Amino acid sequence: IFFRSFDRSFFPAAAMLTKPGSPCLSAYRQQQLLLQLQQLEPSITSVYAEYVHFADVDGVLTPEEEAILDRLLTYGPQTQSAAHTGTMLLVMPRQGTISPWSSKATDIAHNCTLHKIKRLERGTAYWIAGEAKAITTNAQVLQSLHDRMTQRVAFGSEAANDMFFEGEPAELRTVDVVGKGRAELAAKNKEWGLALAEEELGYLVSSFGADGLKRNPSDVELMMFAQVNSEHCRHKIFNASWEIDGQAKDLSLFQMIRNTYNLHKEGVLSAYKDNGAILTGYPGGAFRPDAGAGHAYRTQQEPIHIVCKVETHNHPTAVSPYPGASTGSGGEIRDEGACGTGSRPKAGCIGFTVSNL
């Protein structure tokens, strides 16, 4: 991979180590992004994007350790970097968050003996040629370069200095449910963005109030309750009891799906017991060790069954579509591969059910 000399003045020397990366856009993607940006800001004449890596290092890396790090961060297409011309915009993970790339990269670094590295993180540096003020003040241009739910954009590298900032833990806060009741909890529900339903507010007031624990709940307890009982974790709607027109229904939505299996079990070896369902497959040959013939390998006929499942990933995908979808597909591969003695992925499917947009 050929790198241009990276202008270190963009990234002042600090406790963290900065390493340039490879171009992150193919020629096609780069051209598509340019056309998109030009529709939003006509003065733009070119765009170029390159990965930038940041390392939070405990101490100083030896030349040998830095060589290992350079090898780990050398990946991507073997294309020559373009000139760094125009206004530089740096897209980074939001402060206080750790990206999925960071978790994996840091783990790999530790497995490669780089224990001085506390954390690796990655950003994207965009160089956009055009009228600088028009570029940096155009909200639509900035929105085209980052996902505001998981990332932030800065007009210069000095913003990267707080990449690994760790603030002091905040003091525990409580909500005066005992003294002020439901109204106080409802106000904090809106202020803290807990998204608790009316029924949940009533449940919490009853649980912590005069008829329950007789103490005030903390912000940690309320946040944990909100997340644990979210549609993503517990399917509080999908697995809830239903009453329609005053008549209680025997089955939840979840149970209605499972009821299909209860009525038609033919061809299903296992369902709702493991990480995925196992369907009756077909006989096939597998090249395996022959236990009765020493070290010989033979093609042995055995049944090859089919593992299948679907995973709902509505909530995280709504928050951040691409990471949410990738986590969902990764969970699919993980769960199916964990059934029985293991399996290998063959095909995937996806379905979308949306409201009236």
* pLDDT higher than threshold 90 for residue 15: no
Q: Calculate helix-pair angle for 100-111, 63-72, nearest 10 degrees.
A: 140
Residues 41 and 107 in one domain: yes
Q: Confidence band (pLDDT; 50, 70, 90) for 78?
A: low
What domain count does the chain have?
3
Domain match, 131 and 17 both: yes
Q: Which of 121, 136, 162 is the last residue of a domain?
A: 162
Which of the pair, 50 or 331, is modelled with greater confidence?
Answer: 50
How far apart are the C-alpha atoms of 90 and 49, rounded to whole Å? 10
The stretch 206-216 carries a mean pLDDT of 92
209 and 150 part of one domain? no
Count of other CB atoms within 10 angstroms of residue 51: 18
Is residue 35, in this structure, part of any structural domain at all?
yes
80 with 208, same domain: the answer is: no
Evaluated on CA atoms 98, 100, 106, 111, the torsion sign reads: positive
H, E, C per residue of the chain: CCCCCCCHHHCCCCCEEEEEEEECCCHHHHHHHHHHHHHHCCCCCEEEEEEEEEEEECCCCCHHHHHHHHHHCCCCCCCCCCCCCCEEEEEEECCCCCCHHHHHHHHHHHHCCCCCEEEEEEEEEEEEECCHHHHHCCHHHHHHHCCCCCEEEECCHHHHHHCCCCCCCCCCCECCHHHHCHHHHHHHHHHCCCCCCHHHHHHHHHHHCCCCCCCCCEHHHHHHHHHHCCCCCCCCCCCCCCEECCEECCCCHHHHHHHHHHHCCCCEEECCCCCCEEEEEEEEEEEEECCCCCCCEEEEEEEEEEEECCCCCHHHHHHCHHHHHHHHHHHHHHHHHCCCCCCCCCCCCCCCCCCCC
Least confident of 4-13, 162-171, 304-313: 4-13
Residue 183 placed within a domain? yes
Same domain, 81 and 197: no
List residues bridging with 277 in a β-sheet.
308
Mean pLDDT of 119-141: 94
Q: Point out the least confidently predicted range of 9-13, 101-105, 343-347.
A: 9-13
More confident residue, 352 or 220: 220
- Structural domain of 21: 8-162
Query: Residue 249: inside a domain, yes or no?
Result: no
Question: Are both 298 and 197 inside the same structural domain?
Answer: no
Q: Are residues 288 and 202 in the same domain?
A: no
Please check whether residues 12 and 152 belong to one and the same domain: yes
Task: Please check whether residue 105 is in contact with residue 24, taking contact to mean a CB–CB distance below 8 angstroms.
Answer: no
| 81 pLDDT above the threshold of 90 | no
Average pLDDT, the chain: 87
Average pLDDT over every residue of 298-320: 83
**What DSSP string describes 288-346?**
EE-TTSTT-EEEEEEEEEEEE-----HHHHHHSHHHHHHHHHHHHHHHHHTSTT-----
CATH code: domain of residue 215: 1.10.8.750
Q: Are residues 77 and 189 in the same domain?
A: no
Compute the C-alpha angle 61/62/65, nearest 5°.
75
SS3 category, 213? coil
Angstrom distance (rounded) from CA 241 to CA 250: 8
Q: Is 254 contained in some domain?
A: no
Q: Do 37 and 148 sit in the same domain of this protein?
A: yes
pLDDT attached to residue 332: 84
Quick one: 89 and 214 in the same domain? no
